Amino acid sequence: MNLKDTIRTIPDFPKKGIMFRDVTTLMTSRRGFAESIIQLSAPFQDIMLDNIVGIEARGFVFGAAVAYELGAGFVPIRKKGKLPFDTYEEAYDLEYGHDVLEMHADAVRRGEKILVVDDLLATGGTAVAAIKILQKAGAKVVAAAFVVELPELGGRKRLEGMGIEVQSLVEFDGQ
């Protein structure tokens, strides 16, 4: 199955010149969604991961399913102000502005092996912020896995520059 064919492209969203890659169409495809989880999980089957970390919001969907597939726990990293307990936080820049991510301070333990999962890797800003939060908590980020990658925006290079292995299922040219 070609997963790329299940992802809808919406021109000029959220602003002119951007080609938005909409993974909700992949998620509504029974075969496509199941295949994406199998492919995201496959490289990590032989690693005893402690937790899968999903980044808000679509990373929750893919990350929780990968956690189930790999027999690991699931940890959400959320936008600021959504978590009710003590948190680690990290500010980051987006393609269209800036934001802050948070994780409960007790969500992972020092030395735990973590896989970060999200739907899209563009500039890498969101993933870098999530990884920095996990490093503050003392966790070891083994890799980061994405459904879609936009290679021209350089996110892979940023993550690999931090020593993080990167996996992605499909690539699209442009923004």
pLDDT of residue 174: 78
Residue 15 belongs to a domain: no
Q: Report the catalytic residues.
A: 58, 95
Residue 14 belongs to a domain: no
The token pair that represents 116 in the structure block: 């970060």
Domain count, the chain: 1
Largest Cα separation within the chain, whole Å, is 44
The DSSP secondary-structure symbol of 49 reads -
Residue 23 belongs to a domain: no
The DSSP secondary-structure symbol of 124 reads S
Kindly report, residue by residue over 14-53, the tens digit of the pLDDT.
889 889 999 999 999 999 999 999 999 999 999 999 999 9
pTM for the structure as a whole: 0.96
Domain residues for 60? 46-171
Find the mean pLDDT for residues 8-13: 95
List all residues 6 or more positions away from 41 whose beta carbon is below 8 Å from its beta carbon: 66, 69, 70
Residue 94 belongs to a domain: yes
Kindly report, residue by residue over 133-149, the tens digit of the pLDDT.
999 999 999 999 999 99
Q: Are 53 and 101 in contact (CB under 8 A)?
A: no
Kindly report, residue by residue over 47-99, the tens digit of the pLDDT.
999 999 999 999 999 999 999 999 999 999 999 999 999 999 999 987 667 89
Look at residue 155 and give its three-state secondary structure: helix
pLDDT of residue 27: 98
Residue 29 belongs to a domain: no
Query: Looking at residue 166, which CATH number applies to its domain?
Result: 3.40.50.2020
Q: Are 92 and 129 in contact (CB under 8 A)?
A: yes
